[in-house]
Structures are given as C-alpha cells and as structure tokens.
Amino acid sequence: MKQIQTKIPRVSTHYKFLGIQIDALSIPELNSVIAESVEQSRKWIIANHNLHSLYLYHHDARMRTFYTKAEYTHIDGMPLVMFGKLLGYPLQRQQRVTYVDWVNPLMAEATRQGWRIFYLGSKPGVADKGVRILRDRFPGLQIACAHGYIEARKDSPENQAVLSAIATYQPHILMVGMGMPRQEYWISDNLEDIHANAILTSGACIDYIAGTVPTPPRWMGRFGLEWLYRLVSEPKRLWKRYLLEPWFVATLFLREILSI
C-alpha cells in the first residue's frame, strides 16, 4: 500500500559559483523532490555536478544545454562543497549526495511509496544483476532495466526500442547510468519522448551494486578522497579526470576569489 510521504521543508537552496548553479539538497530533500514530481505528474530532470561535470560544462555546449533543462542539480563531490564554503556559501557535508550513499535510501523510499523505477545503463548483464540484488534487498521494489550499450542515435531501432520499453513500464523514476557526458546527451536528445517523472543521471550506480566497479570506503567519501580510490582502481581511464581537470577548476576558483 502506498504510504503518505512526509514532506521535507525546503528553503531556497540555489547557489551559483564557478559558473554553474547547484541546489544544496540532502538525501531526504532529494527524495521529497521526487515525491513532488510524482504527485504533481511533472517531468523533472534531477542532475548533479562534480568536478568532472564542471570541467565538461565549461568545455561542452551540449552539456550546458542539458543543465538548462534540469529542474534541480544536486552536489556530487565534496570539493564543490569545500569550494562553496570558501566562497562564503552555507553548504553542509550532508548536502553532498553521491549515488553510492543515495541508492539504498532511494530504493527504500521507492518501495514504501510504490514508485516504479526503470534503470537504463551499464553493460549487458550488469544491469540485470544489479536489479536482482536490489529486489532481494528491498522486497516489493518495482524496478526494470535495460543495458546502456545501444546505438544512442535518436532514430536508431535500439534507441526506439528502449524508449518504447520505458513508455510501457511507465516508471515514476528513470535512472540513466551511461557515464558523463553520454547519459546527459541521451536525456537531452530524447527528453520529449521520455515518459517518466523524475529523471536521474546516476552514473555507475548499478555497477557498484552489481560489484563490477569497486565501491570506495565511505570514510573516504566523507573526507572527499573517493577520487584517490577511483584513480588507483582505474588509472588508465581516470588519470586525466583526476590529475588534469582539477587544475582548470582551480583557475576558476582563483578567478572568482580575485573578483570578490
């Protein structure tokens, strides 16, 4: 039976710095945003920003277009919380929400509320494994999936089949885990044909659940050191993201400090 969602009061949480706009929202507040989109039958993109997306935003016009379509953009990276605090914004640790921390509270809330979830992403077989684990972990959870290794061109047969599967399932929540910026491109290109309420850019969320990507210890997340764990785990893929891109972000921060 669907339970009544307790509304989490939200004050104005919009902050703009380093050229981007973010919404400082905790996990309960994000769940409340999803409940609002479902209850009002609205279609909202709930995006996120971290240092990598910040770099992409300033170098990729398609990413900038995507973020203009997002209803909310939460913080997924302790460095952004730290930069914001140094710039005088009242950001708090719990307003940094990564999917490693959010996925279980989200699935628990979806089970209580009877929300249907569709996950699109990961390699063939990985999404199915992750979904099976979540169903075992949360009895009664309504979740379906499709892998993300498709021809993403809008009019391709594979893409049209995925959109049809989503429309048939009628999810309240669509999680797209194709990695940045592919997931943002896909959502932006197909938004008019997506039938869902809350649309989430969830990255490697299900890969963590399925165990195909190692999960950083949560103490490293609390201290903003997840990047180091991921760099050591996948150096060939992530060295540029974690060793070069932050220098660009540092220059943005210095320019903002000097302008102040």
Q: Dump pLDDT digits (tens) for 16-71.
A: 999 999 999 999 999 999 999 999 999 999 999 999 999 999 999 999 999 999 99
Distance of CA 242 to the CA centre of its chain: 19
Query: Which residues are bridge partners to 74 per DSSP?
Result: 48
Give the dihedral of Cα atoms 28, 200, 216, 83; nearest 10 deg. Answer: -70
The predicted structure's pLDDT at residue 228: 55
* Cα–Cα distance, 133 to 157 (Å, whole number): 29
Which residues are CB-contacts of 16 (< 8 A; sequence separation ≥ 6)?
22
Q: Where are the domains of the chain?
A: 14-201+208-227
- Does 5 have pLDDT greater than 80? no
Whole-angstrom CA distances from 228 to 102, 137, 173, 216, 238 are: 20, 29, 31, 9, 10
Per-residue 3-state assignment (H helix, E strand, C coil) for 215-228: CCCHHHHHCCCHHH
Q: Dump pLDDT digits (tens) for 180-195.
A: 999 999 999 999 999 9
Q: What pTM was estimated for this model as a whole?
A: 0.89
